[in-house]
Amino acid sequence: MQSLPIYLYENILTVILDLDTTVRGVNRIMYQRDLQIQKGIKNVVRIQFKNSDQKRIPISESTVFMFSMFDAVNNRLLLEKKLTVLDDGTTLNLKGLAELTLTERDTMDFPVSSYQFVIKYQDPTNGTYLPTYSDTYYGVSGKLHLKQDAYPVLQPSQEIVSFNKQYNPAIVKYEHKSGSIYAYPEFNGNQALHTMAIYMTNFKGTVYIQGTLANIPGFNYSTIDIRVYNGFDGIDYVNFNGVYTYVRVYYVPATAPAESTNDNPAYYGSLDKILYRC
């Protein structure tokens, strides 16, 4: 039996804040560790404020501390958030401690890359911001690595824009078929979710969604869903579950009154495209 150890611990970053006038010695910090942040999940980072000889210093709950993340190449500010001060003035373990919370939305639009960050605090006498330091050599900024190791990358949808028009004598109507679309069964479990977005313009007719487990496309299709529309304009969403090797979509337009075939786009409108994701 295999045993997999999992480590759950707080992400703590030390910041130098020299507000203590009783410092007797200096403990040189050669470097500051880089901050690792994961996209797609909530990140909580505890900020420990110390003086230059590595002693925790008290911070006031009324003091404003700001975290700023920026692209150093273009000198552009990307994100700024206020820290939550945890130091209550009495609890020893919370002395000099603050907390930074980055939600999923905060990092959603940023590419996986390396960034710089600074932490600054507000001078209570005049409201201006003063720097804190990442080391005892007056290094103000730290390095942040934005990663995406804990969340899968969203793949683009497959787009179906062309349909093969065929006459079916069995139903005396024209059918418009998409052909076989690969459904990536190797990535799906038994409850695999498939989503289709059907774009239509005043469409009248019936849409059939089919799937097959056959390794050769075009054989043994079974119907998964049937949708009937009467002048639908917009996007209709279809969700279904199951492992399929291929799926396909075809639609049968409605027949206009007093016409012998269903071949009048001016009457039945149009099915413009389908976006498919599995």
Find the largest Cα–Cα distance for the chain: 99
Residue with tokens 């099915």: 271
Are residues 96 and 14 in contact, defined by beta-carbon separation less than 8 angstroms?
A: no
* Domain boundaries defined on the chain: 11-147, 158-277
Residue with tokens 């059907």: 198
Evaluate if residue 119 carries a pLDDT over 80.
yes
Side chain identity, residue 165:
K
Q: Tell me, what's the pLDDT at 48?
A: 85
Side chain identity, residue 52:
S
Average the pLDDT over each of 54-63, 103-112, 114-123, 153-162 and give the range with the smallest value.
54-63
Are residues 53 and 24 in contact, defined by beta-carbon separation less than 8 angstroms?
A: yes
| Residues whose CB falls within 8 Å of the CB of residue 95, separated by 6 or more in sequence, listed in order | 56, 57, 58, 87
What single DSSP character describes residue 33? Answer: P
Cα 206 from Cα 256, distance rounded (Å): 14
Instruction: Grade residue 91 by pLDDT with cuts at 50, 70 and 90.
Output: confident
Are residues 212 and 245 in contact, defined by beta-carbon separation less than 8 angstroms?
A: yes
CA 171 to the chain's CA centroid: 46
Among 65-74, 78-87, 116-125, 181-190, the range with the most confident prediction by mean pLDDT is: 78-87
Average the pLDDT over each of 20-34, 228-242, 253-267 and give the range with the smallest value.
20-34
CA atoms within 13 A on the CB side of 53: 7
Strand, coil or helix: what is 268? helix
Cα 237 from Cα 227, distance rounded (Å): 11
CA angle 87, 24, 86 (to 5 degrees): 5
| Residues whose CB falls within 8 Å of the CB of residue 106, separated by 6 or more in sequence, listed in order | 79, 81
| Residues whose CB falls within 8 Å of the CB of residue 261, separated by 6 or more in sequence, listed in order | 172, 173, 174, 255
Cα 115 from Cα 141, distance rounded (Å): 10
Q: Tell me, what's the pLDDT at 120?
A: 84
Give residue-wise pLDDT tens across range 172-219.
Answer: 999 999 989 999 888 766 678 899 999 999 999 999 999 999 888 877
The CATH architecture of the domain made up of 11-147 is Sandwich (2.60)
Average pLDDT over residues 213-227: 88
Give residue-wise pLDDT tens across range 134-169.
Answer: 555 556 678 888 988 876 666 788 999 999 999 999
Evaluate if residue 42 carries a pLDDT over 60.
yes
The CATH architecture of the domain made up of 158-277 is Sandwich (2.60)
